[in-house]
Amino acid sequence: MKKAVVLLSGGLDSTTCMAVAKSEGYELYPISFDYGQRHNRELECAKNVAKYFGVKQHKIIKMENVGGSALTDKNIDVPDYKGDNEIPVTYVPARNILFLSYALGYAEVIGAEAIFIGVSAVDYSGYPDCRPEFIKAFQKVVDEGTAAGVKGKSIEIKAPLIYLSKAETIKLGTKLGAPYELTTSCYKGGEKACGVCDSCVLRLKGFEEAGIKDKIEYERSL
């Protein structure tokens, strides 16, 4: 069976990617990261999602926290949703570059043909590493900088949600049986999602526009 590494954060988008990869006939090899994020709730969710999909191995990589983001520095407050396209303080410097690099090495080791990443250029928070230009550039790195690439058997970076709105992503994941009740999207990591950070608001709007009930609990909701 063909293999795929899936970047699994424990959130809605990465869980949708797991469902998409499974639907395309891949054997799933999720990889998650402990990068010094301000809470471990998302990693617990990632473990639950991986268990739900019955994967053979779920790799969790421990990384040094370099700071510089509200998601990794508790001295920087997580802001409420603003709705603009400015790069927010929740941007983690070079995060997807680092994540994809680890995933790429892992993919070469296990002989995977693809890496799935749940980035979207439609409903996102202004992050530069969620754009099609970034995915295209990293694919060039894969093609030119790996043994698989130079041998003509390059590993494909697959971003199936890149042009989907959050509502379209939710509809797709629901159709494919993605277990959204096991996920979290909140930047604050409380027992209940805050409902007011960028990620919570985009998620809530997505479910509302999709006409589907979100099964997780919120402190506040739209």
pLDDT in tens, 151-181: 888 999 999 999 999 999 999 999 999 999 9
SS3 14: helix
Residue count of the chain = 222
Q: Stretch 22-35: mean pLDDT, rounded?
A: 95
Residues forming the annotated binding site for Zn(2+)?
Answer: 186, 194, 197, 200
Which run of H or E residues covers position 136? helix 132-145
In a domain, 222, yes or no: no
In a domain, 50, yes or no: yes
Residue 144 has pLDDT above 60, yes or no: yes
In a domain, 221, yes or no: no
Which domain CATH number covers 72?
3.40.50.620
In a domain, 218, yes or no: no
Distance between CA atoms of residues 221 and 18, nearest Å:
27
pLDDT in tens, 4-13: 999 999 999 9
In a domain, 41, yes or no: yes
In the prediction, which pLDDT does 79 show?
Answer: 52
List of E strands, the chain? 3-7, 27-34, 59-62, 114-116, 156-158
pLDDT band (50, 70, 90) for residue 87 = low
In the prediction, which pLDDT does 70 show?
Answer: 45
Residues 115/4, Cβ–Cβ less than 8 Å:
yes
pLDDT band (50, 70, 90) for residue 135 = very high
When divided into structural domains, the chain yields a total of 1
Lowest mean pLDDT among 32-41, 68-77, 98-107, 153-162: 68-77
Residue 141 has pLDDT above 60, yes or no: yes
Residue 66 has pLDDT above 70, yes or no: no
In a domain, 64, yes or no: yes
33 φ/ψ angles, rounded to the nearest 5 degrees: -135, 130
Residues 161/169, Cβ–Cβ less than 8 Å:
yes
Distance between CA atoms of residues 196 and 99, nearest Å:
27
Taking the alpha carbons of 140, 142, 147, 151 in that order, is the dihedral positive or negative? negative
Token digits of residue 190: 């409380």
Residues forming the annotated binding site for ATP?
Answer: 8-18
> What residues make up the domain containing 91?
3-210
For residues 81 and 195, the model is more confident at 195
Q: Stretch 48-55: mean pLDDT, rounded?
A: 98
Residue 204 has pLDDT above 90, yes or no: yes
In a domain, 153, yes or no: yes
DSSP summary character for residue 34:
E
Residues 6+ apart with CB under 8 A from 141: none
Chain-wide mean pLDDT for the chain? 87
For residues 84 and 17, the model is more confident at 17
SS3 41: helix
Q: Stretch 76-89: mean pLDDT, rounded?
A: 56
For residues 204 and 40, the model is more confident at 204
Q: Stretch 130-143: mean pLDDT, rounded?
A: 94
Token digits of residue 193: 């999602």
Residues forming the annotated binding site?
Answer: 8-18, 186, 194, 197, 200
Residue 38 has pLDDT above 70, yes or no: no
Residues 92/127, Cβ–Cβ less than 8 Å:
no
In a domain, 154, yes or no: yes
Residue 84 has pLDDT above 60, yes or no: no
Residue type at position 17: C
Token digits of residue 19: 């469902």
